[in-house]
Amino acid sequence: MGFGSTSITPCDFTPLLGRIQGKAEAELWEKVRQKAPRLSGVYGMLNRSGELIYIGKAKNLRARLMSYFRKNSRDPKAGRILESTRYLLWESTPDEFSALVRELELIHHYRPKYNVLGVPDRRRWCYLCLGRSPAPYLFVSKRPTEKAIAVYGPLYRAFRAKDTARKLNDYFGLRDCPQSQPMHFSDQPQLFPLELRPQCLRGEIKTCVAPCAGMCSRGEYAALIDAVRAFLDGRNNRPIHDLVQRMTEAAHRCEFERAIVLRDKLRPIQWIAEKLAWLREARRDNTFVYPLTNETGQTIWYLIERGRVRRACYEPQTELHKQKAQELLSEVYGPKPKQLEGIGHADSVLLVAGWFKKRPEEKQKTLSVDQACHLLGNV
């Protein structure tokens, strides 16, 4: 019973697990009233087939679950979920922060239909990817693979991310044709030289360097890839400066239609630059140890690295807890950090940043890695 192991609570924390069953709302309500604890945690709802259809988190499990049965005040979606529910599971967590992270972990693992379906496109997360050899280009994916050269995100609004990918491919001259289209770089030897022509309009109007038609070498195309990465990594803002300058010059010449076209190219490129800059800042500023004292007076150290909750342990008040904390600090922050299992998604960056944005006083309690190590030395 329960949702399985996790690395974001202390290894010696024992969660309170619960499972109830009921064929009708009234039966489930009575069992929740009797058995659900007033503790923070996560809960899952299963249908008659035992399929997990929804995962949620709560600061108070009993209060949150009871709210599903208030027909006059509950959200319509909550009513639909409850209609399909025959089993309820819960798992307590040390505190609300842990419940929030655990919820995200479980949603990514199980992908229950009411958590991932019916969500407006603008609220689904996607990633801007650079890849697909032999001539990489930018594309949008909900689940990027390790084959991609680089992945940027997560981003809201897939339709806007796709438009941005098109605009950037146009600006840098990268191809975006199907993978079935053969590439013929100019420095690629051919046994029987052929007269090649661009296979799409982009090659004709010079918004693609047309590697399909031998109009660029591998080295020239690789230089474009480097330029794209420099922009998306925040090392070179030349595309924005260039488009702003060209748009301003067109307006001064009263070429207003041309200025509008340039403005429409500029907006999505500015949008992606701002989003990625925010993510870089969130990752850079969110590497620390977060001591959080729960309602029972226990303090847990959450080891956060580049915006991801990687491990958790009890505050080192005893020799045993000190040894465990030293081990985990070495794993997460050491010179050769161990490849850890965990959420493994950039979504955690947004979760952590959002937590501290709503609770700026909590950020003041965090410890740098050096401070945490110094405290361990004094235990």
> What was the pLDDT predicted at 194?
65
> What was the pLDDT predicted at 191?
55
> What was the pLDDT predicted at 340?
42
Residues forming a β-bridge with 304: 288, 309
> What was the pLDDT predicted at 77?
86
Name residue 156's amino acid.
Y
Would you write out the chain's pLDDT as a tens digit for each of its 379 residues?
A: 579 889 899 998 999 999 999 989 999 999 999 999 999 999 999 999 999 999 999 999 999 999 999 988 888 888 899 999 999 999 999 999 999 999 999 998 888 989 876 554 445 678 999 999 899 999 999 888 888 999 998 887 889 999 999 999 999 999 998 888 888 888 876 655 666 777 788 888 888 998 988 889 999 999 999 999 999 999 999 999 999 999 999 999 999 999 999 999 999 999 999 999 988 888 888 899 999 999 999 999 999 998 889 999 999 989 999 999 999 999 999 876 544 443 445 678 888 988 999 999 999 999 999 999 998 876 5
**Domains, in order of start, for the chain:** 17-118 (3.40.1440.10), 122-283 (no CATH), 286-378 (no CATH)
212 CB neighbour count, 10 Å cutoff: 21
Q: Report pTM.
A: 0.73
Can you read off the two tokens belonging to residue 320? 């045993």
352 CB neighbour count, 10 Å cutoff: 23
CB 352 within 8 A of CB 304: yes
CB 197 within 8 A of CB 185: no
CB 36 within 8 A of CB 90: yes
The length of the chain, given as a count of residues: 379
Backbone φ and ψ for 312, nearest 5 degrees, come out as -145, 145
Round to whole Å and give the CA distance between 334 and 340: 12
- Where b means 16+ CB within 10 Å and e means fewer, 153-186 reads bbbbbbebbbbbbbbbbbbbbbbbbeeeeebebe
Residues forming a β-bridge with 61: none
